[in-house]
Amino acid sequence: MADKKIELYSPKFFAYCGLGGILSCGLTHTAVTPLDVVKCNTQANPKEFTGTFQGFRYIYGGKAEALGFPSGLRGLVKGWGPTLAGYSIQGLCKFGFYEYFKYEFANMVGKENAYKYRDVVYLFASASAEIIADVALCPFEAVKVRIQTSPTFATGLMDGLPKMVAQEGLGNVYAGLAPLWARQVPYTIIKFVAFERIAEGIYGYLDRNFNKPKATMTKLEQMGVVFTAGYIAGVICGVVSHPADTMVSKINKLKMAGGIGDKVKVIYYGTPEAPGIGFAGLWKGLGPRVVMIGTLTGLQWFIYGAFKASVGLPTPGGAAPAPEADKKTH
């Protein structure tokens, strides 16, 4: 039953936003695990995985059994456990803290400035939320990538994470944190800023041309705007964050001593024994990732918006940050 008495910007409000984030990120990332498996192997194992459709056939048809992949669907969902756990926790922090920081930063600058400089408010709120979210996600992402690109390492999260910590130490589990921030923070900034502005633009267009302001639209119509704005934002941020995503996949597969800088240098420039990936290599797997991220982001915003609507909260997008003076019961 929808809860119609959630006070906006109360602890309960932010808790519900976090719960919506768990559903939106955890479910969507888990649903596209097969595409993620192929994408990660296109980046980490380019000799065996030469393209998206080839990768699907390679695993599903049993040709990747020599690498440790089970044939059929079991091979394509490798790493679903850490994906579900990691991105559920990330979603909790991403959406919950975004709403919290957006509200707090808007209060800091005041109502007029919060609207005038709303892009800056969205930027700092989303970046702050993602920095926290990635600290929570990083161990699960490391295990996920290791399982997906070296499938004989472990069967899933329950044996993979303890094994990785025992063999390589907690520090190595967080070795990909800096590249993860480099990938996720720009991605999330665009995901939220672009979404907010695209949704605002769509609502403005409908209002100006069809006399259809958001307040008069049905929840279903609003969700159409939410999905469209989310998908467009996802395509943009998928392109921007792709080079760092490639580095995360490579670093989590690479086994060598040294700091993060040493690993990045070896991956990019190579060694006398093996060439590096170079600039062109940073863009391997871009096609499947753009499709994956665009779909993911659109669905994430849709699920998040649908959840908020189901509990009696306003759908996302189309409204400026609201300071304390606008606080009310919805």
Asked if 195 contacts 230 with a C-beta cutoff of 8 angstroms, the reply is yes
Place of tokens 């005038």: 116
Place of tokens 């490639």: 246
User: 291-325: per-residue pLDDT in tens?
Assistant: 878 888 899 999 999 999 999 999 999 876 765 54
CA distance 137 to 86: 5
User: 9-44: per-residue pLDDT in tens?
Assistant: 999 999 999 999 999 999 999 998 998 898 888 877
* 231, two tokens: 């998908």
Q: What value, to the nearest 5°, has the Cα angle with vertex 51 and ends 50 and 54?
A: 90
Asked if 84 contacts 26 with a C-beta cutoff of 8 angstroms, the reply is yes
Give the model's pLDDT for residue 306: 96
Q: What value, to the nearest 5°, has the Cα angle with vertex 59 and ends 281 and 38?
A: 35
Confidence of residue 258 (pLDDT cuts 50, 70, 90): low
User: 108-165: per-residue pLDDT in tens?
Assistant: 999 899 999 999 999 999 999 999 999 999 999 999 989 998 888 998 899 999 999 9
Which CATH architecture is the domain 11-326 placed in?
A: Alpha/alpha barrel (1.50)
CA distance 19 to 15: 6
Side chain identity at 192, as an amino acid letter?
F
Give the residue extent of every domain in the chain. 11-326
User: 92-111: per-residue pLDDT in tens?
Assistant: 999 999 999 999 999 999 98
Residues pairing with 270 in the sheet: 275
CA distance 239 to 245: 10
